[in-house]
Structure 1
């Protein structure tokens, strides 16, 4: 706007970017006041900031869900062998999370942009009336949902240290409970198998005790250098005892049960080794959100959620509270000029509908013009066709009068 009284300030690329994010018309803003320009810069800045926060939150949530699971508190050794508390990042998952975060941020940015641009300015005063609030309610609900999706991942990142400690304790408890359950199940089976061969095991134990005694006797006699009669007798008893042990152990039923016991022991050890995977399964997004609420308390958790909800809903209430300014009047003027140029006439509150609401009557003059032209063209074509048929008829009648035999054939 150039005049003797005022000259609109020139806009920068930075300002035009924010205007575009806010859905404002650059042509009008460059001819409007500085106050209008700043209002839409702030509005666009909030929308862009929300999109960026959504991208960060979405990427972090994606990484938390799909990253390899492990202990909440992992340790590592550096090249020098010093133990640290660094949690190594899974690069492939991180790269995918970045891509997902960018897509998610773009989605939220466009939804916010649509919500803000589709929200009217109400009655053009600072007061938000009940009618304006009801009209904006669907947009407020959508904004609140978006704020929740952004706040929760950010919340678990804010309290990550406390969550990791609490989660590590839960993982240990889960691991111990899993091991206790495995031991309970397998010990019961092992006990049944051992009871079925208890007599055989007791006999083997007794025979092995005798073998131990005989070996001690032989060693004693040998150490005295006098391994003659007694030593030979002890060796014979030991050989007979060992043969009996071998005979007992070669019993088919004993061999079968012993094999089953060995298999149970191997299976139990394998299951116990899986306890780390079971406990690592707790390291998910839902569990971290629960722990965030427990560690931070409902007051702080609510405060964080309300903070993001305020940021998300501010543009909506901001537009409802805007007072009409030169930008709004110029925008309305341009809209009316465009409608006039396209031959569109609106008669406001022209007729009531069945529910008692006043409806506008929209008249499209260009459409009416084309329709009238089309109707006249069709009428002219119809008239010409009718005349042509009449002339053809007269010609045929004349030909019949001149030469009727040409048109009459004898049977």
Structure 2
């Protein structure tokens, strides 16, 4: 039963192959087994690739099954259309397009399996890329908020410097009126005289201005700090909202690119393996000698070809003979007086009708 299945997979004519030796049947069963298992590997590879994209098991299996059938049909077509010829160069020329197609199929099948085999290494590469993308994303978003934050912090520094400058002014006025009271500066008179009172009033006025300035600037600083806090919150919100995009950076294209950053030799060996599997049926048919099945298939095909060519040749001879007979018959008729007299009479009648019609038309025109 299994042998019969593999023979069907090889694309061989089962009616002809049943009349061949067991060895010939085993050869085509082996070719069919290669075609069958290549389709199975294509099914697995496509299912995994689609699962990594859609993350849906049933959809991946469904599309993978269709892809496996497509690969199976292509391989079966490639193998079944290679015919053994009497000239090796004719066979190579015949197989060249099929070999190119087989190589393409092998590359398409091997790539998803490489992604699965090197999944851990690919995940490590993707993690590094995600970290780099996260840092780059945070830096880009920060560029949108940093100028505003710096400007607001500069305003806070300006307001604080105003308070500091005013405090220095008040402290200086305090030293002035204290020195006046102690008699160490100013009028150098000990006691609280008129000059002391004047300087004390000036200090008190500056102190009141300082208190008012502190209250005003404190309110302004609180408002600016609230704006800075809001900008920081917006920055964190934007970072959080864009992070899932980076976390989802593990699709099929990202994994293929990550695979390209790994050492090429292991992937190359896997590709060679699938190239060998995919092209082995073609090379098996090219390298194997012309067998019993090939002779019987050629006999069946040439029998039909000969029969068709014979029918075409007979039709051409029949057409030529018919043309010769028709020409001879018409030549003999052309020499008969009876036919000449009859056609002369009809020609005269036709010319009379034309003359009458012309005369009538001209008369109406006048």
Instruction: Kindly indicate whether the alpha-carbon contact (under 8 Å) linking 1:52 and 1:105 is maintained by their aligned counterparts in 2.
Output: yes
**Structure with the largest fraction of strand:** 1
Report the CA distance shift for 1:384/1:190 in structure 2 as closer, same or farther (over 3 A).
Answer: farther
Shift of 1:318: 0.6
Which residue matches 1:327? Answer: 293
Which TM-score applies when normalising by structure 2? 0.68
Please tell me whether Structure 1 or Structure 2 has the larger radius of gyration of its CA atoms.
2
Query: In angstroms, what is the RMSD of aligned CA positions?
Result: 4.4
Q: Matches of 1:305 and 1:132 in 2, distance apart?
A: 26
SS class of match (2:150): helix
**How far 1:328 moved relative to its partner?**
1.3
- Report the equivalent of 1:304: 270
Q: Equivalents in 1 of 2:332, 2:146: separation in Å? A: 105
Question: Among residues 40, 46, 69, which one is paired with 1:58 in the alignment?
Answer: 46
Counterpart Cα distance in 2 of 1:340 and 1:386: 42
1:284–1:399 CA distance, 2 compared to 1 (3 A): closer
Matched, 1:159 2:147: no
Which of 133, 136, 161 is the matching residue for 1:174? 133
- Greater helix percent: which structure? 2
Is 1:103 matched up with 2:91? no
- Selected match of 1:397 from 325, 330, 345: 345
Distance in 2 between residues matched to 1:113 and 1:25, nearest whole Å: 12
SS at match of 1:98: helix
After TM superposition, give the deviation of residue 97 of structure 1 in Å.
2.3
Contact in 1 for aligned 2:163/2:210 (Cα 8 Å)? no
Alignment partner for residue 29 of structure 1, among 4, 17, 23? 17
Question: 2:260 matched to 1:267?
Answer: no
- In the TM superposition, residue 316 of structure 1 has moved relative to its aligned partner by 1.0
Specify the alignment match of 1:137 in structure 2.
96
| CA distance 1:249–1:334, change in 2 (3 Å) | same
Moved more, 150-159 or 17-26: 17-26
Superposition deviation, residue 254 in structure 1: 9.2
**SS of corresponding position for 1:153:** helix
> Do residues 114 (structure 1) and 77 (structure 2) align?
yes
Residues 258-289 of structure 1: CA deviation (Å, up to 9, x unaligned)? 77645533431122113533433531324323
- Name the stretch that deviates more: 307-316 or 190-199: 190-199
Do the aligned partners of residues 399 and 30 (structure 1) sit closer, same or farther apart at CA in structure 2, a change above 3 Å counting? closer
State the partner residue of 1:226: none
Gaps of 5+ in 2: 167-208, 361-366
Q: Answer whether contact 1:200 1:254 (CA < 8 A) is retained.
A: no
SS across alignment from 1:274: helix
What is the DSSP-based 3-state SS (H/G/I as helix, E as strand, rest coil) of the residue aligned with 1:200? helix
CA shift, 1:387, in A, is: 10
- Whole-angstrom CA distance in 2 between matches of 1:370 and 1:264: 97
Q: Is residue 193 of structure 1 aligned with residue 181 of structure 2?
A: no
Q: What residue in structure 2 maps to residue 17 of structure 1?
A: 5
| CA shift digits 1:171-208 (9 cap, x unpaired) | 2333234224433553243112321443236679999x
Unaligned runs of 5+ in 1: 1-11, 68-89, 208-239, 346-362
Alignment correspondent of 2:30: 42
State whether residues 122 and 320 of structure 1, in contact with CA within 8 Å, keep that contact through their aligned partners in structure 2: no
User: In the alignment, is the contact (CA less than 8 A) between 1:55 and 1:101 conserved in 2?
Assistant: yes
| In 1: Cα distance, 2:355 partner to 2:90 partner | 85
Would you say the 8 A contact 2:84–2:294 is kept in 1? no
Distance change (3 Å), C-alpha of 1:406 and 1:372? closer
